[in-house]
Amino acid sequence: MSTTLLSRPSNESKPAEKKRSKLGFRLSILTCVFLFFAILLRGIATLPLDTSSLTPFQNWLNSVSDWIGNNRTSNPIFTFFINIIRDSINSFVTGIQYVISQPIGNNSAPLIGWFGIVVLLSFVAYAVANIRIAILVASGLVALGLLGFWQESMDTLALTLAAVVLALIVGIPLGICAGLFPRFEKLITPLLDFAQVMPTFVYLTPVTLFFLIGPASATIVTLVYALPPALRITAVALHEVPWSSVEAAISMGSTRMQALRKVQLPQAKRTIVVGINQTIMAALSMVTIAALIDAPGLGKVVIRALESLDIGSSFQAGLGIVILAVVLDRTTTAAASKVDAEMTLAISHKRHRQILIAGGVLSFVAIIFSRIFTWAGNFPGTGFIGSDIAKYTDNATNWFQAHFVNYTDGITNAVSYGLINPLQSILTNSPWFVTGIAFVGLGIIFGGKKLGIISSVCVLGIVGTGLWSDTMATLASTLVAAILTVAIGIIFGVWIGRSKRADRIIRPILDAGQVLPAFVYLVPFLGLFGATRFTAILAAIVYAAPASIKLMADGIAGVPATITEAGIAAGSSKWQMIIKVQLPSARRALALSTNQGIIYVLAMVVVGGLVGAGGLGYLVVAGFAQISLTGKGLAAGLAIVLLGIMLDRITQAIAARSTLQGNK
């Protein structure tokens, strides 16, 4: 993309500007018409539904779930097929656990003790990446032991590995199919959206009905969420390979299969590794939720600490998850760029090979050690720094609460009365068809007739779930959270994009925000801001802003030097440079970061339901907790998916437009 940006002649921006002002005109007409009718017809056809009432559709969903529960043990489909899947996944996971985390039979340590694992994984990191990453892996793993959570971390790692391996076995071949056959990709995209946006709470109970309580259910729950990135990014990787190189191979006599194997896959390798990275991150973000159905590992510690609002202990375990995430993320990222380097350099050091052999021997010795000596088998001690970290966290939280609580009410009220309440009142009081038509209009303006149809299907679907009013309440909070997320994304994105040093300091914090289980910071937030929609919005920002910031920073850093140099030559000040040169050039990044911001915020709707945001999130939680509300929870999950798909498609269309404008 940067090359096309480079070649853009500067005087061609005028027609684009004209087009944009036409767009602005249409948008403002749409807004005015919407507001006019929303206020004129307020209170009519708002489709409210009591929290404890159910529509016929929701009752029907209830009966479906009952039917499954009653037939689970008698119906041959369940007892045969599903049991086979269940048993094989169970033995796969417990197999990995016996190797790295759980002792078998009369042993007190797993097959490979901690010392063996540290040396072996560091060696693997060295082999696939470099020595710096190997040191990071070693210190990260030792830190897990020092936190006092060696076994829990390894349980989490075992489950994550199992889910990731299964996601890759299924996802990469399907992703290749999707990359080769556009029709298949079109078919599968809505399913992937469904899997990614449908809140996990919705299918937690059905999954245990099908696959029973145990590692299989926990793995499948994780798999549902981790599979889409593996599949999607593999498809994207194949799309990125220039078609001309495939044609060249075929014209030289290769079959289509050979062209795939020899040309497309090798060139797509790097992006596929990025997909593996995203799959691992997605799997790790499920650790705490899977613990609600007895998934072993760090998630259990977090949930347990939450019972007594023990912020320190939950942070201690959350930190373990962050460390695992950083270790796995950095290793796979470095492996991806090494794949890149090897492609071009084709290294063949003899020394490198010798080191590899030596490392292998060393790992072997370490594994033997970990099976002979007690100190190398089970991590010694009960956590040297763990309890200190918990204590410091508690102290810091208390201090923070004692000093800031006087201001937090003001902030909560300002945002609630100034932003959330007016927006929510417009959206929930407007007739459904007025708001619905406004969505369809937005779709048509940005994406033409096709997007208009998608929007209307989504709108009608939401009405069909019987939860229009709750959806509008959720939409109001989602929009406020998204606006704040994008604002933060721009501010920090520009800062990080312009400064390497800021990047180095802030990026680990962003990583932590993305993988730290929300449960860890919810309790302090609740203490400061109460059980309010604002607390839910804050939690959503913590999770969503990192993605927004990263995308924005990449966009700013990707602005070609020639453009910025031209800006400097023209005598721009720092602020002129940011506002007039860098931000406009990074327009596509801005649109993308808005899109991702909204999707990530929607992923937190259910967490919001746990802290007082009400709306769809609460209904999902209630559906998980009460058998009579299961159908309503399912319906709420559906409404979130439909809302998500609609917002995603509209913002994607906006992003695609800005790319066009940027390039032409």
Q: Minimum CB separation from other proteins for residue 544, in Å?
A: 19
CB 219 within 8 A of CB 161: no
**Subset of 246-275 contacting other proteins (CB under 8 A):** none
Nearer to other proteins among residue 10 and residue 348 (C-beta): 348
Site string for other proteins, 393-432 (x = CB under 8 A): ------------x------xx--xx--xx-----------
The C-alpha atoms of residue 57 and residue 608 are separated, in whole angstroms, by: 25
Considering only residues 30, 35, 355, 531, which one is a binding residue for other proteins as defined by CB under 8 A? 531
Nearer to other proteins among residue 177 and residue 212 (C-beta): 212
Phi, psi at 50, each rounded to 5°: -55, 150
The C-alpha atoms of residue 362 and residue 368 are separated, in whole angstroms, by: 10
Q: Minimum CB separation from other proteins for residue 229, in Å?
A: 26
**Subset of 213-232 contacting other proteins (CB under 8 A):** 213-214
**Subset of 57-86 contacting other proteins (CB under 8 A):** 69, 72-73
CB 282 within 8 A of CB 332: no
CB atoms closer than 10 angstroms to residue 419: 18
Considering only residues 11, 348, 500, 571, which one is a binding residue for other proteins as defined by CB under 8 A? 348
CB atoms closer than 10 angstroms to residue 261: 12
* Phi and psi based region of residue 453 (left: phi greater than 0; alpha: psi -120 to 50; beta: remaining): alpha
Q: Minimum CB separation from other proteins for residue 554, in Å?
A: 31
Q: Minimum CB separation from other proteins for residue 557, in Å?
A: 32
Q: How far apart are the first and last CA of the chain?
A: 12
CB 639 within 8 A of CB 460: no
Nearer to other proteins among residue 91 and residue 413 (C-beta): 413
Considering only residues 49, 137, 220, 293, which one is a binding residue for other proteins as defined by CB under 8 A? 293
Nearer to other proteins among residue 52 and residue 576 (C-beta): 52
- Residues with Cβ within 8 Å of 56's Cβ and at least 6 positions away in sequence, in order, are none
Considering only residues 240, 247, 342, 565, which one is a binding residue for other proteins as defined by CB under 8 A? 342
Nearer to other proteins among residue 159 and residue 581 (C-beta): 159
The alpha carbon of residue 587 and the mean position of all alpha carbons in its chain are separated, in whole angstroms, by: 23
Considering only residues 308, 345, 500, 561, which one is a binding residue for other proteins as defined by CB under 8 A? 308
Does residue 334 belong to the site contacting other proteins (CB under 8 A)?
A: no
The C-alpha atoms of residue 112 and residue 103 are separated, in whole angstroms, by: 9
Nearer to other proteins among residue 289 and residue 641 (C-beta): 289
Q: Minimum CB separation from other proteins for residue 121, in Å?
A: 13
The C-alpha atoms of residue 290 and residue 155 are separated, in whole angstroms, by: 12
Nearer to other proteins among residue 31 and residue 91 (C-beta): 91
Token reading at 593: 């970061």
Provide the 3-class DSSP secondary structure of residue 41. Answer: coil
Does residue 294 belong to the site contacting other proteins (CB under 8 A)?
A: yes
Nearer to other proteins among residue 357 and residue 561 (C-beta): 357
Considering only residues 313, 485, 596, 661, which one is a binding residue for other proteins as defined by CB under 8 A? 313
* Phi and psi based region of residue 615 (left: phi greater than 0; alpha: psi -120 to 50; beta: remaining): left
Q: Give the HSE-up count for residue 285: Cα atoms under 13 Å, Cβ half-sphere.
A: 24
Rg, the chain, Cα only:
26
The C-alpha atoms of residue 456 and residue 432 are separated, in whole angstroms, by: 12
Considering only residues 8, 304, 507, 580, which one is a binding residue for other proteins as defined by CB under 8 A? 304
Does residue 517 belong to the site contacting other proteins (CB under 8 A)?
A: no
Considering only residues 63, 75, 107, 663, which one is a binding residue for other proteins as defined by CB under 8 A? 107
Considering only residues 27, 212, 487, 656, which one is a binding residue for other proteins as defined by CB under 8 A? 212
Considering only residues 153, 278, 279, 363, which one is a binding residue for other proteins as defined by CB under 8 A? 363
If we measure between CA atoms, which residue out of 105, 108, 138 comes closest to residue 374? 108
Does residue 205 belong to the site contacting other proteins (CB under 8 A)?
A: yes
Nearer to other proteins among residue 100 and residue 647 (C-beta): 100
- Residues with Cβ within 8 Å of 526's Cβ and at least 6 positions away in sequence, in order, are 535, 611
Can you say whether the dihedral through the CA atoms of 470, 472, 473, 475 is positive or negative?
Answer: positive
CB 376 within 8 A of CB 369: yes
The C-alpha atoms of residue 150 and residue 166 are separated, in whole angstroms, by: 24
**Subset of 532-571 contacting other proteins (CB under 8 A):** 532-534
**Subset of 568-607 contacting other proteins (CB under 8 A):** none
Site string for other proteins, 113-132 (x = CB under 8 A): -------x------x-----
Q: Angle at the Cα of 38 (from 33 to 39), degrees rounded to 5?
A: 105
Site string for other proteins, 616-645 (x = CB under 8 A): -xx--xx-xxxxxx----------------
Considering only residues 188, 292, 323, 437, which one is a binding residue for other proteins as defined by CB under 8 A? 292
Classify burial at 411, counting beta carbons within 10 Å of its beta carbon; exposed 0-12, middle 13-18, buried 19 or more. middle
* Window of 188-196, 232-240, 321-329, 348-356 that interacts with other proteins by CB under 8 A: 348-356
**Subset of 371-390 contacting other proteins (CB under 8 A):** 371-374, 377-378
* Window of 130-138, 165-173, 431-439, 613-621 that interacts with other proteins by CB under 8 A: 613-621
- Total of residues contacting other proteins (CB under 8 A): 86
DSSP 372-410: H-HHHHSPSSS-TTHHHHHHHHHHHHHHHHHHHHHHHHH
Q: Minimum CB separation from other proteins for residue 262, in Å?
A: 11
Question: Where do the H-state alpha helices sit in 41-82?
Answer: 56-71, 76-77
Q: Minimum CB separation from other proteins for residue 396, in Å?
A: 17
Q: Give the HSE-up count for residue 235: Cα atoms under 13 Å, Cβ half-sphere.
A: 22
Q: Minimum CB separation from other proteins for residue 182, in Å?
A: 31
**Subset of 454-513 contacting other proteins (CB under 8 A):** none
If we measure between CA atoms, which residue out of 281, 282, 175, 167 comes closest to residue 233? 175
The alpha carbon of residue 12 and the mean position of all alpha carbons in its chain are separated, in whole angstroms, by: 38
Question: Where do the H-state alpha helices sit in 419-560?
Answer: 421-429, 432-465, 468-498, 500-515, 518-529, 533-557
Nearer to other proteins among residue 187 and residue 372 (C-beta): 372
**Subset of 25-64 contacting other proteins (CB under 8 A):** 50-52
Nearer to other proteins among residue 249 and residue 650 (C-beta): 249
Nearer to other proteins among residue 34 and residue 379 (C-beta): 379
Considering only residues 96, 611, 638, 653, which one is a binding residue for other proteins as defined by CB under 8 A? 611
* Window of 209-217, 317-325, 439-447, 634-642 that interacts with other proteins by CB under 8 A: 209-217
- Residues with Cβ within 8 Å of 101's Cβ and at least 6 positions away in sequence, in order, are 110, 151, 154, 155, 157, 158, 296
Q: Minimum CB separation from other proteins for residue 117, in Å?
A: 11
Does residue 112 belong to the site contacting other proteins (CB under 8 A)?
A: yes
